[in-house]
Structure 1
């Protein structure tokens, strides 16, 4: 008999350890096998980052996939300790992190730079989580600067894929076909009514880029752009000792102070990008609470930020992870929330079964040699699709932020985005602050107010 049967309608799922809200499978919730299966199918998504880690950091594929597996298990810290977020990377900033890292010599210098960046991001999340400082850094940040950071991330994502050495040109037909199919499935005005009308189309659409990846991967194999996989039947090893010896602060040392100074502007930009994900997960879970009245899902931005900080500290110390640790993976969050809302308690007893199951399924699939080796030749496809779609979303969100603003804010945002994408976060933020001070800030506002008060008197 599981404790999950004791939940009263409209209350939180039972937990243990008081405010830590520890929840364990079989004890506090049932296993939701459909979410395990969805997670296993979507294992192709995190595999894509191995291509970037190999190119930028020189990490062999066998070690890069071990990084991915360990990172995936760290996602479970959220759902096991009371945070309902389906966690992920700070994806939109990946091109910015790459631009930052390639400014350092190849080898240990880049590893040290990534350690400095990830530990700085961890510290920012910790401060924001403990002291609820989001209002100071994000809510009061000029709109032009927020939109400029999103535009810069979008520009960098698209440019990186289509540049002379971009992934698109490694297998152009395959990747462009996958991108066209992915954009159609996710954003097309034609696809929206198809999702509403046909349950099969709605079912495959919920897997995000996994289906476009599979279609383009198979097509790439047929036309010869993708190499035939060399199937391995072993389990994926996790060489913890080798990772610590070659990539941790215990192996390469602690980054010099100037590395942290160089990383600070980018860390701030990464946090601003990530804070948008916190707003998204809060909105999605509020919708779930409106639909499923039998279970109350409690989301705390502070709890989420503290756990994100812990993940970044762990990785920054032991295995610096290029896409960093963020508060939410939107595609996975939508999958779990939609399945929870679309079923009653008799089908999906608790949200927490699916929220944990998606990463158990994905993590276990990533440890299976046959699964990893089958998809290894297509990792460039997966990463290219991820970045192209991320570029679209960043551009859309930036335009949405600027929707009710004037030409001044829009012009500044474009300049900030262009500078950030081409020269890095420090230049982008610096130019944005200077333009805000020169153009947006009304230095005579108080003087005008005094003049008006005198006239009224």
Structure 2
């Protein structure tokens, strides 16, 4: 029987240590809108990693798809097993930067060991800042301009990757880009009346992009779908042999040291995600006084350690790493949550229900047949939206021309030369050009005189 909470209380669950287990249908109601939409979108988006892992880890499709099926479980654990109210995802802004780092290693075991090094260093940072609670203090020590430069590096690296990819499927990819960008960012589209059709389209922007890509790809001959009936059998043995420490061994100290700059950048991006998540949840809490949303950064840090280390030893390394929040889905769920208890009885109805259908779908070969031609589209949309969002966020973080120029410079160095150059040269340039972060009043006066 479904457990109910008291008015203004925390949703019931099974406590274990600092975590809380909540199962769909037992501790939270099943909401089929989230289950169905989440199952298909999680699988499609997760599949975007397959081409990357095939390229950088030098593994066949079956092994790469097996990694995707396992990462779907670890993504789901953030909400149902560890008790966070976040719609979990990857550390998506770090994806382009990590690809730049991996590009300096030979595809195969060498690149896998480099990714293992990043996973271990980032997990150590999660553990350290989780235990000490110093994450907020560390975040404040990093000047805003440097943070913006790191984010801009992710934007430039993301756009760079798409310049090559678009040449292989020009009609398909450009069509999907236009559809998704119009739905998500178009000012004229935003001004249209909020009809039921517009709400449905806006809530399913990425899905609309896939539909448009499928139609354009079929009509242009760029995409062909081959559907076979059957069950996919995960290749666990090959997976562990090719992409885990059990098979390729642990990285050398030199590789671990080389991974430190990119790992620091990744942690900065993660803490930014947490701050955004907190803002979104606080806003949602005002609309729903019937439930207390328990936010605990220490618990989140520990959960991220478990997810990334668990992925490493059970499902091989994951290129973007596991992160706290899938921003687009978090926003969608919270908008539903704010409407009423009828829409979502508890905040956990969203993330707990969002992922679980993708697990059985990942082993259903007709779904795989549909996904395979669309994998480049999924990857392209992921990187395009990451680049677009990172670019405008980076520029919005600074308020004077010197900082804007420095943000672009740090971003270019990071994307072209790598994270170590971005951080090293960025710190030197920051000291020479800015010295210390101007106060808001100084920024305003500089803008007036510009």
TM-score normalized by the length of structure 2: 0.92
Conserved 8 A contact 1:217-1:381: no
Describe the SS at the equivalent of 1:31: coil
Q: Distance in 1 between matches of 2:205 and 2:62?
A: 26
Q: Distance in 2 between matches of 1:111 and 1:50?
A: 14
Larger radius of gyration: 1
Aligned residue in 2 for 1:95: 96
Aligned residue in 2 for 1:106: 107
Q: Distance in 1 between matches of 2:382 and 2:146?
A: 24
Conserved 8 A contact 2:183-2:201: no
Task: Please say which of residues 361-370 and 148-157 is displaced more in the overlay.
Answer: 361-370
- 1:427 corresponds, among 390, 396, 421, to 421
Q: Distance in 2 between matches of 1:363 and 1:338?
A: 25
Q: Distance in 1 between matches of 2:102 and 2:92?
A: 16
Deviations 1:332-389 (A, max 9, x none): 21222222222x3244322212211111123332232111211211211111111111
Deviations 1:178-228 (A, max 9, x none): 10111000000122133x5211111121123121122112211121011x2
Aligned residue in 1 for 2:445: none
1:20/1:385 CA distance change after superposition, 3 Å:
closer
Conserved 8 A contact 1:66-1:236: no
Aligned residue in 1 for 2:182: 184
Q: Distance in 2 between matches of 1:30 and 1:77?
A: 17
1:218/1:109 CA distance change after superposition, 3 Å:
same
Q: Distance in 2 between matches of 1:91 and 1:141?
A: 20
Q: Distance in 2 between matches of 1:428 and 1:346?
A: 48
Aligned residue in 2 for 1:222: 219
Aligned residue in 2 for 1:455: none
Alignment of 1:272-351 (within 5 A): 272-318=268-314, 319-342=316-339, 344-351=340-347
Aligned residue in 2 for 1:248: 244
Q: CA deviation at 1:116?
A: 0.6
Structure 2 residue 429 is matched with structure 1 residue 439: no
Q: Distance in 1 between matches of 2:320 and 2:384?
A: 15
Q: Distance in 2 between matches of 1:126 and 1:221?
A: 48
Q: Distance in 2 between matches of 1:181 and 1:380?
A: 16
Unaligned runs of 5+ in 2: 437-450
Q: Distance in 2 between matches of 1:20 and 1:41?
A: 28
Q: Distance in 1 between matches of 2:129 and 2:363?
A: 34
Structure 2 residue 200 is matched with structure 1 residue 200: no
Describe the SS at the equivalent of 2:14: coil
Q: Distance in 1 between matches of 2:350 and 2:51?
A: 29
Q: Distance in 2 between matches of 1:208 and 1:237?
A: 31
Q: CA deviation at 1:64?
A: 1.2
- 1:210 corresponds, among 182, 207, 210, to 207
Q: Distance in 1 between matches of 2:312 and 2:426?
A: 29
Q: Distance in 2 between matches of 1:379 and 1:398?
A: 28
Structure 2 residue 354 is matched with structure 1 residue 355: no
Deviations 1:239-289 (A, max 9, x none): 222212222111111110111111110011111122221112111211221
Structure 2 residue 391 is matched with structure 1 residue 390: no
Conserved 8 A contact 1:207-1:335: no
Conserved 8 A contact 2:24-2:353: no
Conserved 8 A contact 1:157-1:388: yes
Unaligned runs of 5+ in 1: 443-457
Q: Distance in 2 between matches of 1:262 and 1:411?
A: 27
TM-score normalized by the length of structure 1: 0.91
Task: Please say which of residues 332-341 and 171-180 is displaced more in the overlay.
Answer: 332-341
Conserved 8 A contact 1:284-1:334: yes
1:105/1:346 CA distance change after superposition, 3 Å:
closer
